[in-house]
Chain A
Amino acid sequence: MKKTITEKILRGRAGELVERPIDLIMCHDVTTPPAIKMLKKIGINKVWDKNKIVVCPDHFVPNKDIQSAELAKELDQWVKEQGIKHYYKLGCHGVCHAILPEQGHVKPGMVIVGADSHTCTYGALGSFSTGIGSTDAAYVLASGKLWFKVPPTLRFNITGKMPKGFSAKDIILYIISQIGVDGAQYKAMEFGGEVIHRLLDEEKMTICNMAIEAGAKNGIIETKDYYSDKGCKYEKVYNYNISDLEPIVAYPHLPSKGKPISKAVRDNIKIDQVFIGSCTNGRYSDMEQAAQILKGKKVKARTIIIPATTEVYKKCLKNGLIELFLESGCVVSTPTCGPCLGGHMGVLAQGEKCVSTTNRNFVGRMGHPKSQVYLASPRVAAISAIKGKIAHPR
């Protein structure tokens, strides 16, 4: 029987319930402490495999208040007590979905789960990976396995030539604007076609990262060794030629409200803040794209740039990007998820507008329930920072 890459990795047909051994689980500072408490409560004192757990405190690092410090302490004690091998604590820390691929934990064909919805990022390297809650995480930490319903696959063929100023972010924002925030609910989103295969791994991660914003179970891209069989059964095939598209801006308050940048320019949207970073767009190539536009210019909107990992930060420093950002009037912070979720390091006040390279623009996502978030690529964010309003990065 011919199978999709997702069916192959999960070893089942679409619709079938399977229980699969887990190759890797990602744990962070918000969703793991509850899982630790659950395990203690039922008397399970040992994880199934201390080498298959990657712990990345990232949401509220460096600790933002006493409460988050207590959660971080709980996580830290547990990691030491269990002897967990892969622990990216402060100093080698970073946003989990940037750390795991960067540090070589993600390999094609793996089954990966993470107690975070954007775990779907790792599909960019040909693995099946999906986000789970704390109870599922506790179950995996104890047993090393989990049940799945094998999802049907939506195939997205992306063809054409990348238009000027266009980025991987625009591809995924465009797709979500076409199918909606529940357009891939419970399904696998498989991205392919000439455009996708020419992208850098980091750019592929930006695309798979946002599969969850269409409700998908996983996002995935084929590799040389892991691919969908010719003639396999897709639930639906979408063919998009991007040659004539413009960069996309997703208006408040849904990631599916993507509009062409020329519309946003016409709407004359003045902004208070720009944020460049996160698990969607905080990797080195994102920093580089922002730097190319910011070089020698001054920003009008307050601009926060956060390299997603310590390694990305160091590379920016070595190559002069940090200085370039500071000279432009931006601020640069140590890696954290912080502002993306309105946690800390850039929370919005009532009525404020922000262009953000993150993944969600829900009500209250980055601060006050009456603030507004426009999602865009690092290029659009950088040029908008300079102009003080949403602008086209040609």
Chain B
Amino acid sequence: MKAKIHVYLKDSINTDEIIPARYLNSDKEEELAKHAMEDLDKGFAKKAKKGDFIVAGKDFGCGSSREHAIWALRGAGIKGVIAESFARIFYRNAINNGFLAIECREIDKNLKSGDIIELSLEKGFFTVKDRKYRFTPIPEFVKEIMEKGGLLKRLTT
């Protein structure tokens, strides 16, 4: 899988930056998408294209339990986030929505916004211009939830 990345090498990018609470009076994905990452990068919603990834530092998604954070990113076209680590509620919400949250300890300053990465989920690494970044393979039971299309499918199948 090839994808363009948007890089924010900052720790603790929180849910108020991903989708400010002032927009939580709506739960519509297309509405939330317009404000994705707004307080961190005002132009994000316009830049993001379908299938892109975000690359970030440690503790991505800390703060509120709002699943709106996932929906805003997904609505903006983002397929997944690659971060050094994730806050736990965000991580769980990602799994439950079948949204890719990839934990990669090898993220470094050589990664630049606009780079194209080649991602192998099965083998657990991505490459950029010959550089290789390994990440924690996605756990089996998480894969199972994602393959089914989200947690709620467990209730009906």
Contact = CB atoms under 8 A, between A and B. Distances in A.
Q: Do A and B bind?
A: yes
Interface string B1-35: 00000000001101011001110111100000000
Interface string B96-128: 110000000000000000000000000000000
Contacts of B59: 181-182, 185, 215
Given A182-B87, A362-B63, A136 B14 contact: no
B12 A254 contact: yes
Interface in A350-372: 360, 362-365, 367, 369
A132 B11 CA distance: 22
Contacts of B27: 30, 33-34, 37, 71
Contact of B89 (A132, A342, A343, A362): A132
B100 to A, nearest CB: 16
B150 A135 contact: yes
Contacts of A33: 27
A182 B25 contact: no
A135 B93 contact: yes
Interface string A318-349: 00000000000000000000000111000100
B16 A364 contact: yes
Contacts of B156: 42-44
Interface residues of A, number: 49
Contacts of A185: 59, 85, 87-88
Interface string A50-72: 00000000011000110110010
Nearest to A59: B24
Contacts of B89: 117, 131-133
A173 interface: no
Interface string A62-96: 00110110010000000000000000000000000
A17 interface: yes
A38 B153 CA distance: 11
Given A31-B67, A186-B88, A215-B88, A363 B40 contact: yes
A116 B87 contact: no
Contact of A117 (B22, B64, B151, B153): B64
Interface string B54-94: 00001100111111101000000000000001011100110
B17 A132 contact: no
B93 A133 contact: yes
A129 interface: no
A132 B65 contact: yes
Contacts of B153: 42
A14 B36 CA distance: 35
Given A182-B12, A343-B21, A138 B92 contact: no
Contacts of A31: 65-67
A352 to B, nearest CB: 15
B14 A34 contact: no
A143 interface: yes
A135 B16 CA distance: 19
B151 A362 contact: no
B155 A143 contact: yes
Nearest to A347: B22
Contact of A30 (B20, B66, B97, B151): B66
A133 B14 contact: no
Contacts of A343: 21-22, 24
A64 B25 contact: yes
- With a 10 A CB-CB cut-off, give which of B58, B65, B67, B153 has the most chain A CB atoms: B65
Contacts of A245: none
25 contacts: A30-B24, A31-B66, A34-B68, A37-B27, A42-B152, A42-B153, A44-B155, A59-B21, A64-B25, A116-B64, A119-B65, A135-B67, A136-B93, A136-B151, A139-B151, A139-B152, A181-B62, A185-B85, A215-B87, A341-B24, A341-B64, A342-B21, A362-B17, A364-B17, A364-B20
Interface of B: 11-12, 14, 16-17, 20-22, 24-27, 38-40, 58-59, 62-68, 70, 85, 87-89, 92-93, 96-97, 141, 150-156
Interface of A: 17, 30-31, 33-34, 37-38, 42-44, 59-60, 64-65, 67-68, 71, 115-117, 119, 131-136, 138-139, 142-143, 181-182, 185-186, 215, 217, 254, 341-343, 347, 360, 362-365, 367, 369
7 tightest Cβ-Cβ pairs between the two chains A and B: A341-B21, A135-B96, A133-B93, A133-B67, A364-B39, A67-B25, A68-B25
